[in-house]
Amino acid sequence: MITVFYDKRAKGGLSEGVVIMVLMFVLAFMLLIGVFLLDVIKPDMDEFLTDPTTNATFNKFHQDTPDTFDNMFMMTFVLLWAGAIILAYFVDTHPVWFILSIIALSVVLLCAGVLSNVYGEFYTDLSGEMTSDLPMTNYVMNHLVHFIIAIVASVLISLFAKTQTK
């Protein structure tokens, strides 16, 4: 489990990368679907909303939502990454788990590549019908393998680079 739950039995730094990868994939999918649905209902809402103030408010909401979602995604991503690094520092582990973590990293990177490709295909299918974009989310999801390498490396450095005092 992720070290956010602070488990003294945690043995490696790989689980944090897996949890962050899955959470970010799900969040990116939900945000992309939210922006798509907002773009789909906008023409109907323009016809339905006859009050100019309400229509202006809805148009402002439609305009600001992609940026808000994009910023929310990045804030969540950075905070999860920082939390994993900070909490990995407090876990005591044996150095032999470092070698096993590096070996298991290949499986995690394969999964990250698959999730990145799934997101890319989904985005490509929706992008023709969307007027809005999530540039930071798309960048992170298109380079998910690189970010997972950085996350796992920073967590492993935090986990194994501290001085062992017993």
Round the average pLDDT of the chain to a whole number and report it: 83
Q: Report how far residue 153's alpha carbon sits from residue 13's, in angstroms, rounded to the nearest whole number.
A: 8
Mean pLDDT highest for which of 3-7, 42-46, 106-110, 114-118?
114-118
User: If you average pLDDT over each of 5-14, 74-83, 101-110, which comes out highest?
Assistant: 74-83
Integer Cα distance of 48 and 107 in angstroms: 50
In one-letter notation, the amino acid at residue 16 is E
